[in-house]
């Protein structure tokens, strides 16, 4: 990867990554270790959420690891005390699972965020927090592209809880001065992506089935539009958000100016893997939470970070190179 900026400000800083064994967290950890940060990874190692020890194999001797759950308030009280920065990327990400098991989603994506903020309020008000939120809190778009001021009308429990968590961060910024930023992620792909399960979006499911030569089932007509972000760009965004005073207490979209249909995505996969695909009607439980087309307007983040480059503003890579990196790059670390 070609670095556009030097991230020298992270050297020797104490960084806590909650959910650091998963897809986004482990990529953050690997980058921050390379920048000289003093990294502590915290993860409950629940396999359905993508935690995998191999994600941090290259840095395991250069960081600290604590096996704990964000739902454990006593652990949080201890863990936050020395942190300069907290990246909170732990979460239950499956929209269907949030409907099937709403209380677990509530515990992880809402109540635990409040517990983290209470720990910071009591033990470390000087910490900076970057929270991984989601585009799902917008619900079905009223207009496209969806900007940060779009109405929030979640269609599932996951979106409701993520939205509530964002509001907690905003309140604690205003009331107690705990500096935080929420980043609303769209479809993220790249090295260390969790492919084993079905809980982290269609991209991982489609890629896994393509590699295995199994039929891909696309719900609906396949013309639903999406935008994508490469993981390095998402990591850049987290780093850019960390020390930017203009961003604290706010939420921002990430996204891409390019967008592709689900059929586009599958046909690109078909250039590299042999498989069949079909379009099928939405199962009822999926149809009620489907949002149709979605792609983001991320210009507010781009403007307020004042770092408008292809890398940090998440410009989408040429689509055939996207799939080449995902499927064939031997250093990707995909887990099947």
* Alpha carbon distances (Å) from 104 to 41, 92, 99: 22, 8, 10
User: Left if phi > 0, otherwise alpha if psi is -120 to 50, otherwise beta: which for 139?
Assistant: left
Q: For residues 23 and 50, is the Cβ–Cβ distance under 8 A?
A: yes
Q: Give CA–CA dist 163/167, Å, rounded.
A: 6
Any domain includes 6: no
Among 88, 125, 123, 128, smallest CA distance to 108 is for 88
> For the segment 184-230, what is each residue's pLDDT rounded down to a tens digit?
999 998 889 878 766 667 888 998 899 999 999 999 999 999 999 99
Instruction: Decide the pairing of beta strands 228-230 and 187-189.
Output: parallel
Q: Give CA–CA dist 199/219, Å, rounded.
A: 16
pLDDT of residue 8: 62
For residue 73, what is the domain's CATH number?
Answer: 3.40.50.720
pLDDT tens digit at each of 336 positions of the chain = 334 445 668 999 999 999 999 999 999 999 999 999 999 999 988 777 778 899 999 999 999 999 998 888 899 999 999 999 999 999 888 889 999 999 999 999 999 999 999 999 999 999 999 999 999 999 999 999 999 999 999 999 999 999 999 999 999 999 999 999 999 999 998 889 878 766 667 888 998 899 999 999 999 999 999 999 999 999 999 999 999 999 999 999 999 999 999 999 999 999 999 999 999 999 999 999 999 999 999 999 999 997 533 343 333 334 444 544 544 443 333 433
Paired tokens of 71: 């739902």
- Residues 280-315: b if buried by 16+ CB within 10 A, e if exposed: eeeeeeeeebebeebbbbbbbbbeebebeeebbbbe
How many domains does the chain fold into? 1
Q: Give CA–CA dist 307/238, Å, rounded.
A: 13
Residue-number span of the structural domain to which 40 is assigned: 11-328
Q: For residues 16 and 75, is the Cβ–Cβ distance under 8 A?
A: no
Give the number of other CB atoms < 10 A from CB of residue 133: 25
pLDDT of residue 153: 97
Among 80, 84, 89, 87, smallest CA distance to 121 is for 80
Any domain includes 4: no
Q: What are phi and psi of 131, to 5 degrees?
A: -110, 130
pLDDT of residue 200: 66
pLDDT of residue 94: 86
Paired tokens of 273: 């893997």
Any domain includes 65: yes
pLDDT of residue 310: 38
Any domain includes 1: no
First-to-final CA distance of the chain: 24
Q: Is the dihedral of CA 8, 232, 28, 237 positive or negative?
A: positive
Any domain includes 102: yes
């Amino acid at each position: 990867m070609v670095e556009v900026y030097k991230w020298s400000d992270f050297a020797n800083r104490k960084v806590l990554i909650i959910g650091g064994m998963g897809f986004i967290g482990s990529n953050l950890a690997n980058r921050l270790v390379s920048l000289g940060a003093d990294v502590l990874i915290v993860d409950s190692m629940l396999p359905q959420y993508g935690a995998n020890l191999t994600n941090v194999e290259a840095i395991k001797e250069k960081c600290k690891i604590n096996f704990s759950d964000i739902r454990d308030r006593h652990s949080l009280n201890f863990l936050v005390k020395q942190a300069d920065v907290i990246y909170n990327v732990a979460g239950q990400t499956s929209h269907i699972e949030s409907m099937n098991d709403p209380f677990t989603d509530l515990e992880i994506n809402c109540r635990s965020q409040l517990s983290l903020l209470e720990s910071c309020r009591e033990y470390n008000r000087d910490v900076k927090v970057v929270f991984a939120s989601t585009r799902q809190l917008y619900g079905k778009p009223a207009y496209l592209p969806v900007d940060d001021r779009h109405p929030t009308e979640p269609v599932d429990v996951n979106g409701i809880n993520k939205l509530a968590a964002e509001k907690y961060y905003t309140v604690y910024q205003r009331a107690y001065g705990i500096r935080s930023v929420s980043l609303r992620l769209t479809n993220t792909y790249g090295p260390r992506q969790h492919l084993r399960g079905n809980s982290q979006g269609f991209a991982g499911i489609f890629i896994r089935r393509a590699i295995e030569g199994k039929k891909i089932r696309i719900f609906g007509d396949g013309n639903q539009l999406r935008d994508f972000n490469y993981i390095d760009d998402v990591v850049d965004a987290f780093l850019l958000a960390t020390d930017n005073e203009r961003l604290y207490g706010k939420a921002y979209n990430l996204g891409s100016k390019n967008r592709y249909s689900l059929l586009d995505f599958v046909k690109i996969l078909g250039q590299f893997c042999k498989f069949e695909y079909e379009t099928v009607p939405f199962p009822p439980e999926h149809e009620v939470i489907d949002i149709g087309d979605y792609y983001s307007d991320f210009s507010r983040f781009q403007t307020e970070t004042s770092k408008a480059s292809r890398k940090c503003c998440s410009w989408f890579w040429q689509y055939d190179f996207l799939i080449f990196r995902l499927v064939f790059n031997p250093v990707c670390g995909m887990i099947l």
